[in-house]
Amino acid sequence: MVFGLGKNRHRAISAQELDVMLRADEALVVDVREVNEFAEGHIPGAVNMPLSDFQPSRLPDPQGKTIVLNCLGGKRSAMALDKCGTAQSAVDTHLTGGFGAWQAARLPVAR
């Protein structure tokens, strides 16, 4: 599914799609929730970059992997994607339903 406002189009993937990508070592998850939320539980291997000070230029080198942004429900990761689009970053993918969808799918959680 692709959505977004104006020219910034976002690719949304499901928790199951992300799980397959992670198992194949094809994705790097960047969690844009605040530090305390991330500490309470996150997708294993995720990097925390809170939306409150999110800067696309500071995203880690994905080393050939697809960067997938996530938050709790999908709104903040879409906002971070808008920032990436404005900065002309190649990052365009986020997790539909965010960490909530990941947990609902009963996928692994790191704390």
109 in a structural domain: no
Q: What are phi and psi of 23, to 5 degrees?
A: -65, -30
**For residue 1, is pLDDT > 90?**
no
Amino acid letter, residue 39: A
Pair of tokens at residue 110: 């790191």
Residue 8: the pLDDT is: 52
Counting Cα atoms < 13 Å in the Cβ hemisphere of 21 gives 20
Inside any domain, residue 26? yes
* Residue 48 belongs to some domain of the structure: yes
Into how many domains does the chain fold?
Answer: 1
pTM for the full predicted model: 0.91
- Six-digit token string for 16: 């199951």
- Mean pLDDT, rounded, of the chain: 92
Could you tell me the CATH number of the domain that includes residue 63? Answer: 3.40.250.10
Q: Which domain holds residue 17?
A: 2-104
Confidence check: pLDDT of 45 > 90: yes
Buried b (16+ CB within 10 A) or exposed e, 71-101: bbebebbbebbebbbeeeeebbbbbbbbbeb
- Is 111 domain-assigned? no
